Chain A
C-alpha cells in the first residue's frame, strides 16, 4: 500500500546535500576542505539577517512564500540534526512508540512570537545575545565545534598512533586546544534541549523557541504550496497526526497549521489513502481542484483568538523591554579593568560592531589554522559570551592569514586583503620589563622578538652582551607572537592589550637589498 513519496525523497536528499558538507566543514580539523565552502553558510537565515544580505533574504522570503518552511527541513543544520535525533530515537521501535508517537497540539503563539519580538528588539537595540543563543545554525555550529569535533579529533589521534607505528604519517596527531569549558557547556545544554524536545515533542524547538522558525512561520502561513487534506480520501485514521513532528496536523478538524509545518512530507507517506497532498492552495484555504476537497483553513480561526494572541504577545514584549534595555546598555561599570577587553579577530573593525554581528557559530574557531581563536566564557561579560577571541596561550595570529574573515557568514569579521591584514592593529604588545628574564635573571632570551613578524618587538643593547626587548607601537599589529612564546609565568612579560577600535599601522618598511660579496671563509 505504500506510495512512493518523491517529495520526502527530495527533502531528504536536499537535507543531506546541505547538512553533510556543513557538518564536515565544521569537523575538518586538518583543513582538507577548501575555505570557499563557506558559501554554504551564507544560506543560513540568521547570519544573512545580521549581515544584511538583502538579496539572499529576498530569496528566502520567496522560498517560504511559495513552498513554506522548507528551510527548516533542508537548509537549517539544527533542523536536520533534530530529524537525525528523531530517526535515531525511532530505531528498533514499533511504529506507535517510534515514528507515530506525536499528536496535535495547539501552537504556542504568545510564547514564540514574544521570543521573536524580544530577539528582534534586542538586536535592534544593539544586544545580539539572544540571536546568538537562539539561532539554530549557530547552536548547531557550537555543537559541531565543541562536541562532535573533539570526538573526531580524538578518534583521528587513535588511528594516527596506529599508522605511525607503520611509518605512515598521512594522518597526524592533533592537539585539541580550541575546545573551552564554556563552549562545551553551552553546546551540551543545547544538544540536550534538542534531544529532549525532539524525543517528546518533535520540532517543538523550531515551533516555539527558534526565532528563525517563528519568523518563517509568519510567511509560511500564507504559502502558496502547502500540505492539505483531501477530505474524500481521508478515513480519519490519525496516522498523519501521529507522524507529524511539528504536531501541526489536527485530524479532528482536518486542518494543518502551515505556520508550523516544516515540509518534511512524512505525513504524505503515512497516509495509505493519499489523503494528504502538497499542492497549490489559495489564500482562503480553498483548493483549486475539486472544491469539495477544500480544507478548513487555520486562517479562519476565530478573529478574537488571533487578536488575543497579538495583544498578549505585544504585552509580553512590552514587559520585557526594560530587560532588553539593560542588556543592550554598554556595561561600562561591569568592566573591572578598562584594559581587560577581548581581542577581536582582525576584520571585526571594533568591539562594538563585532558584538552586534557575531552569533558565535564557531566556524572561525574551527577554521583558524593557528587555533588561536577560542570561544569565550563569561570573563568579558554576558554580551561577549561564546564569541571568539584571540587567545595567545600557545599560538598566535598568523601574519598574512585571513581565514576567519573569509569564512565568517555574518560579516562580523569583514573580509580583508593580505595587505589590510598585515596592517590591522587589533591590539598593542605591552612589555613589562620588570618581569622579563633578561632583567630578572640577566640571561639571554629574545623569544618575543624572534616571533615578531614586523620587528615591532626588537632587541636593544642591555648589560654587556645582553639584549632586551623593546616595542615599537607604530609597527605592532597585536598578533600575539611575542605573548604566546614568552616563557615568564604566571603573568607573561609581554602582553597584547586590545584596541577597542582596530587601528591601522604602517607596513614595515622594505629595506633595500644590498649585494654582499664574500669570497673568503673568514677562518
Chain B
C-alpha cells in the first residue's frame, strides 16, 4: 500500500507544481487584485504570424470570447493587389490560414473570406497566397468582383456616406473579423483597419469623390462592427503604398496588433508605422473623424494595452 500512496502523492504534487501562480504572485506583490484582467489591445512582436496570433488571442482570453459555436464567420483581409506576400501588398496568408483554423476549431459553422480587390480578383486571390491558405484551412473563399454580391445598407451615423452596398457574406454573417495589413497609402496616407473596410463596399468611387477620409470613417459606423481587428504588421509597406513597387518599400517588423477598438488599433498602428517613416496623425484624417463619430479613442493612454515580445 505504501507504494500506491507514494504514487498518488507524487501525482498530486506534480499536478500542483505545474499550476501557474503568476497572476496570484503579481496580485500579491502589487497588493491589488484585478478581476478578469483582459487588455483592450494586445501587441506582439518578434514571432511568426501564427505564433503571434496565438499569443495575442491567448492574452485576450481566447477567440471563443469573440465567436460562438455554430456561428457564420467572415474574415476580411486585404487582398487588393496582384502581389506576392513578400511585397506586403496584401495580408499575410499564414495569418489568414491560422485564423481560419482558429475560427473553425472554436466551432464556427462556416468561415468565409473575401475582398473587393483592385487588380483582377482571380490574380489577387492566387498571387497573394490567400486563396490557397483559406482552402487548406477549410474555409470558403468567395468572390467579390461583381455588384451582384453586394447589398444596400444604410449608415445613419455617416456624415458623407449615408448608405453603401456591402458584400452579402458580411450581411449574412453572425460575426466578422477585420484583418488588414499595415501600409502606407497615397490617398488615405495610412491603410490599416479602418481603411480595410473600403474593401467591403461595391462603389468605392463615391469615397474618392466625396471626401475619402470622411467616407472611411463613415463606413466604420456600420452597425455590424468587426468583433476583432487584427493588424498584420509582419511586413509593412512604408512607401509607394498601397500597391508598392519592390521589396525596397517593405520593412519587416514581425508585429501584430489585435483589438476590438478600430480607432485605437489604427492609432497604435500609426505609432508603429512612425518607427520606420514619419507620418503625422493629422494627415491620417480618418482617425480624427472616426473619433468624432465615437468609433473609438485615439488616446492610447486611456486604454489597457498588453505588449508581448517573443
* Interchain CA distance A467-B280 in the complex, whole Å: 14
Q: Mark A438-481, 1 if CB is under 8 A from B, else 0.
A: 00010111110111111100110000010100000000000000
Which residues of B have CB within 8 Å of A154?
Answer: none
Query: Which partner residue on chain B sits nearest A518 by CB separation?
Result: B275
Chain A nearest CB, measured from B163 CB (Å): 17
Query: Which partner residue on chain A sits nearest B149 by CB separation?
Result: A173
Which residues of B have CB within 8 Å of A514?
Answer: 248
> Judging by beta carbons under 8 Å apart, are A513 and B268 in contact?
no
Q: Check A519 for interface membership: any CB of B closer than 8 A.
A: yes
Query: Which partner residue on chain A sits nearest B46 by CB separation?
Result: A519
Q: Check B282 for interface membership: any CB of A closer than 8 A.
A: yes
Which residues of B have CB within 8 Å of A513?
Answer: 246-248, 250
Q: Check A516 for interface membership: any CB of B closer than 8 A.
A: yes
> Judging by beta carbons under 8 Å apart, are A173 and B248 in contact?
no
* Interchain CA distance A273-B33 in the complex, whole Å: 109
Which residues of B have CB within 8 Å of A175?
Answer: 145-147
Which residues of A have CB within 8 Å of B141?
Answer: 169
Binds B, one of A127-135, A212-220, A314-322, A504-512: A504-512
A398/B82 contact (C-beta < 8 A), A518-B275, A520-B275 known: yes
> Judging by beta carbons under 8 Å apart, are B186 and A465 in contact?
no
> Judging by beta carbons under 8 Å apart, are B187 and A445 in contact?
yes
Which residues of A have CB within 8 Å of B252?
Answer: 516
Q: Check A20 for interface membership: any CB of B closer than 8 A.
A: no
Q: Check B105 for interface membership: any CB of A closer than 8 A.
A: no
Which residues of B have CB within 8 Å of A521?
Answer: 43, 45, 255, 268, 271-272, 275, 307
Q: Check B253 for interface membership: any CB of A closer than 8 A.
A: yes
Is chain B's binding surface mostly helix, strand, loop or mixed? mixed
> Judging by beta carbons under 8 Å apart, are B209 and A488 in contact?
yes
Chain B nearest CB, measured from A59 CB (Å): 37
| Most A Cβ at <10 Å: residue of B141, B206, B275 | B275
A458/B186 contact (C-beta < 8 A), A443-B213, A516-B252, A518-B276 known: yes
A169/B140 contact (C-beta < 8 A), A450-B243, A523-B271 known: yes
Which B residues, 114 to 144, have Cβ-Cβ distances below 8 Å to chain A? 118-120, 122-123, 140-143
> Judging by beta carbons under 8 Å apart, are A449 and B275 in contact?
no
Query: Which partner residue on chain B sits nearest A454 by CB separation?
Result: B245
Q: Check A437 for interface membership: any CB of B closer than 8 A.
A: yes
* Interchain CA distance A159-B141 in the complex, whole Å: 18
Q: Mark A135-171, 1 if CB is under 8 A from B, else 0.
A: 0000000000000000000000100010000010100
Chain A nearest CB, measured from B273 CB (Å): 8
> Judging by beta carbons under 8 Å apart, are B283 and A447 in contact?
no
* Interchain CA distance A444-B284 in the complex, whole Å: 10
Q: Check B185 for interface membership: any CB of A closer than 8 A.
A: yes
* Interchain CA distance A445-B188 in the complex, whole Å: 7
Which B residues, 265 to 310, have Cβ-Cβ distances below 8 Å to chain A? 267-268, 271-272, 274-276, 280, 282-283, 285, 300, 305, 307
> Judging by beta carbons under 8 Å apart, are A443 and B282 in contact?
no
| Most B Cβ at <10 Å: residue of A441, A511, A521 | A521
* Interchain CA distance A487-B146 in the complex, whole Å: 18
Which residues of A have CB within 8 Å of B276?
Answer: 516, 518
Q: Check B48 for interface membership: any CB of A closer than 8 A.
A: no
> Judging by beta carbons under 8 Å apart, are A444 and B188 in contact?
yes
Q: 4 smallest A-B Cβ distances: which pairs?
A: A446-B187, A511-B248, A523-B271, A487-B208
Given A175-B147, A369-B122, A450-B243, 8 extra CB contacts under 8 A: A172-B145, A173-B148, A398-B123, A443-B213, A444-B213, A487-B205, A487-B208, A523-B272
Which residues does A use to contact B, with CB under 8 Å? 31, 157, 161, 167, 169, 172-175, 369-370, 395, 398-399, 437, 441, 443-447, 449-455, 458-459, 465, 467, 485-488, 508, 510-514, 516, 518-523
A-B contact pairs, 24 of them (CB 8 A): A173-B146, A369-B120, A370-B120, A437-B208, A446-B185, A449-B187, A450-B186, A451-B118, A451-B243, A486-B208, A487-B208, A487-B209, A510-B246, A510-B248, A511-B248, A511-B249, A513-B246, A513-B248, A514-B248, A516-B251, A518-B275, A521-B272, A523-B267, A523-B272
